[in-house]
Amino acid sequence: MIKIDIQNEELEKQMNEAIKKLPMEMKKIKLVLWVLKKINSVKKSKLNILKGIIFIYIVVSLFLLLNK
């Protein structure tokens, strides 16, 4: 019985850690979707290609900061 309780506590710890990380993962997913929408709108107007490249660079930098 003691072994089962220890395993349950370990599982509970892992679940709690996963739940804590979930909102951050959702933010990353939303950020990626938002970036894809922006890239799509940039494709429509070729005059904004330079702006798009700068925008993508900034977003990638932010994304890398979030991953740390």
Question: What is the reported pLDDT for 11?
Answer: 80
State the Cα–Cα distance between residues 6 and 11, nearest whole angstrom: 9
Confidence grade of residue 57 (pLDDT, cut at 50, 70, 90): confident
65 or 5, which is more confident?
A: 65
Please check whether residue 7 is in contact with residue 49, taking contact to mean a CB–CB distance below 8 angstroms: no
Q: In this predicted model, what pLDDT tens digit does every residue of 8-47 receive, in sequence order?
A: 788 888 888 887 877 777 888 888 888 878 777 665 666 5
Mean of pLDDT values over 36-65: 75
- Name residues whose C-beta falls within 8 Å of residue 63's C-beta, 6 or more positions apart in sequence: 28, 31, 32
- Name residues whose C-beta falls within 8 Å of residue 38's C-beta, 6 or more positions apart in sequence: 52, 55, 59
44 or 53, which is more confident?
A: 53
